[in-house]
Amino acid sequence: MNHAPDLLSSLYVFLLATFVGLEVIKRVSPLLHTPLMSLTNAISAIAIVGALLITGHEETTLSTVLGMVAVVCSMINVTGGYLITFRMVKMFKRKASEK
Amino acid sequence: MNENLISIAYLAASAAFILALKWMSSVPTARRGVAIGAIGMALAIGGTLLSPEIVSYRNIAIALVLGTMLGVPMAMMPMTAVPQRTALSHAFGALAAALVGTAEYSLRYQTIDRITMFALTIEVLLGFLTFSASLMAFGKLQEILPQRPITYGGQNIVNLAVLGVALLLGGVLVASPQQTMLFPIMAILAFTFGIMLIVPIGGADMPTVIALLNSYAGLAAAAMGFALDNKLLIIAGSLDGASGLILSIIMCKAMNRSFTNVLFGAFGQVQAGPAGKVEAKPVKSATSEEAASILANANLVVVIPGYGMAVAQAQHKVRELHDVLMKKGARVVFAIHPVAGRMPGHMNVLLAEADVPYDRLLEMEDANRELPEADVALVIGANDVTNPAARHDKSSPVYGMPIIDVDKAHVVMVIKRSMNPGFAGIDNELYTMDKTLMLFGDAKAVVGDLVKEIGAAE
């Protein structure tokens, strides 16, 4: 059970982050639900961290290829996700004239 | 030295992600939110690239360039395609998690401990099932696949059996990770379950399902964090998981339905109904001249947009209508039902794209306060969210669902292509009310005619 301390602190982090997430997201205006979803989608492209490590480590051909595909998939969400969210958010204007 | 730098970069990235979501809560700070989110991601990627585990950058560079080249065009899609784009990016995110999990397993199965294997199993199960489910959702939204739910006898039992076997294999793998044969079978079963989960889901339930898949994709990333013992992944993944969860709860409440009901209830089947018993009641249809003259004299007009507006791409014409009525001195507001469209907030984004100021976009409760005063309620491509049967008809499938009280306005106008029922396949008694005028035709064309008529009347 030498992993217990790590698991426990990971569970604490998971618990706290989930509660922070619930509290923060509850306050998001329904106006912005679509950009919110595309922003969280971009943030969950954080899987790129694991993908980069596997790819760069180059242990076996299989792991490197799987890692590369995962990097491509995540990077699509990183660039695509942030760009489209920014595009959406920019469209919301208080007055029609300020274009 | 690098170790410390990486830890600091990850810590800063975690803070950035939390701030990004916090600033996303209102329009004035939302741009800042996106920017800090992007900075957080840059820190996370930059920090990772410093890791001593990385021995070669060549493949990484190729993959990053390729991903960027594919990602940029995906950000340029038109706003009407946002629901399917979102489904597709959930699929990419989930696939990335599933593949990393698979690669980790292939490298470490001989020495892996149970806790890590447990996290890996969850990551791979969630990853593959979210991947295939999101692809299915994409197919339905893009209309490559039929949007009507497909059901057959014993469907739920078959689905649960597939999931059950996948979970069982996962359990065996946690107990003895060396059974490498079981791993691909588990992955294939999870993939199959994802497909089967979406088959019975209809277009009207897409907002809930997309939100749920958003949550799963986040949880898969969080599970990866447990497997790699990386707190940044856990934080970012659980923020995403929490967000998707809240959105799907909001969507469920807006339809007065439970999660199980959405996933296993196959809402939107064509209601067989008591054949022949319901006689066709007459509807009153109006020409655009008649409708325009009523609109031109209105003081308060409430517009209720729905998926039909998105399909007809009528949002720019709708904005012109808003402008010409405003010029006549009328107040024009938009009543947005939480599940209008195919994803949460879909209508708001479309109208914002068409340059409608966002203070005109009212939430359901606020709109309902204004509707009894409204001279005209103009329904554009919305159906079930306006059905008064939700308030009084206990036998109706929409009974109990919070609706926009369109029937309380003085005059109701409904723009509709034909008398076909909506996605829930339910007759809408709104259409046969005395004060309702039906304007048949394509939403874009009809609204365009109204704009012309009202403009000409000056």
Report how many Cβ contacts below 8 Å link chain A to chain B: 375
- B433 phi/psi in degrees, rounded to 5: -70, 155
Q: Give how far A98 is from chain B: nearest CA, Å.
A: 9
What confidence score (pLDDT) does residue B152 get? 82
Asked whether the beta carbons of residue A77 and residue B93 sit closer than 8 angstroms, the reply is yes
Asked whether the beta carbons of residue B100 and residue A28 sit closer than 8 angstroms, the reply is no
> pLDDT higher for B270 or B91?
B91
User: Average pLDDT for residues B373-384, to the nearest whole number?
Assistant: 91
Q: Look up B434 and say whether it is catalytic.
A: no
Asked whether the beta carbons of residue B357 and residue A96 sit closer than 8 angstroms, the reply is yes
Q: What is the pLDDT of residues B309-358, one digit of tens each?
A: 998 999 999 999 999 999 989 999 999 999 898 899 999 999 999 999 99
Average pLDDT, chain B: 90
CA distance B377 to B407: 8
| Domains of chain B, each with CATH number or no CATH | 77-264 (no CATH), 288-456 (3.40.50.1220)
> pLDDT higher for B191 or A93?
B191
User: Average pLDDT for residues B174-187, to the nearest whole number?
Assistant: 95
CA distance B115 to B328: 68
Contact criterion met (CB below 8 Å) for A84 and A34: no
Question: What amino acid occupies position B365?
Answer: E
What confidence score (pLDDT) does residue A2 get? 44
- Asked whether the predicted pLDDT for residue B155 surpasses 60, the reply is yes
What confidence score (pLDDT) does residue B275 get? 38
* Closest residue on chain A to B240 (Cα): A40
Q: What is the pLDDT of residues B189-244, one digit of tens each?
A: 999 999 999 988 887 888 889 999 999 999 999 999 999 999 999 999 999 999 99
What confidence score (pLDDT) does residue B423 get? 52
Of B230, B237, B242, the CB nearest to A22: B242
Interface with chain A: mutation pick from B57, B72, B240, highest number of A CBs within 10 Å: B240
HSE-CB at B64 with a 13 A cutoff on CA atoms is: 14
Average pLDDT, chain A: 90
Q: Which of B62-71, B148-157, B349-358, B406-415 has the lowest mean pLDDT?
A: B148-157
Asked whether the beta carbons of residue B239 and residue A70 sit closer than 8 angstroms, the reply is no
> What ipTM, to 2 d.p.?
0.93
Place of tokens 């369109």: B406
- Asked whether the predicted pLDDT for residue B96 surpasses 50, the reply is yes
Question: What amino acid occupies position B257?
Answer: R
Q: Name every chain B residue with its beta carbon within 8 A of the beta carbon of A75.
A: 63-64, 66-68, 70-71
Q: Which of A72-76, B130-134, B143-147, B261-265 has the lowest mean pLDDT?
A: B261-265
> pLDDT higher for B282 or B364?
B364
Q: What is the pLDDT of residues B415-449, one digit of tens each?
A: 988 776 555 556 788 888 889 999 998 999 999 99
What confidence score (pLDDT) does residue B146 get? 85
Asked whether the beta carbons of residue B345 and residue A36 sit closer than 8 angstroms, the reply is yes
Question: What amino acid occupies position B444?
Answer: K
Q: DSSP secondary structure string, B383-410?
A: -GGG-THHHH-TTSTTTT-----GGGSS
User: Average pLDDT for residues B111-129, to the nearest whole number?
Assistant: 95
∠ CA B51-B53-B58, nearest 5°, is 85
Contact residues, A window 24-83, toward B, CB-based 8 Å cutoff: 24-60, 62-64, 66-83
CA distance B104 to B116: 10
Contact criterion met (CB below 8 Å) for B378 and B439: no
pTM: 0.90
Helix residue ranges, H only, B231-329? 231-254, 259-264, 288-296, 307-312, 315-327
Tell me the CA distances in angstroms from A44 to A56, A71, B38, B273, B393, one per residue in order. 21, 13, 12, 44, 43
Q: How confident is the model at residue A48 (pLDDT cuts 50, 70, 90)?
A: very high
> How many CB atoms within 10 Å of residue B375?
17
> pLDDT higher for B275 or B113?
B113
Q: How confident is the model at residue A98 (pLDDT cuts 50, 70, 90)?
A: very low
Task: Locate B421 and state its tokens.
Answer: 């029922």
With H, G, I as helix, E, B as strand and everything else as coil, classify residue B302: strand
Dihedral sign from CA coordinates of B109, B115, B13, A78 = positive
User: Average pLDDT for residues A34-53, to the nearest whole number?
Assistant: 95
Of B37, B90, B231, the CB nearest to A10: B231
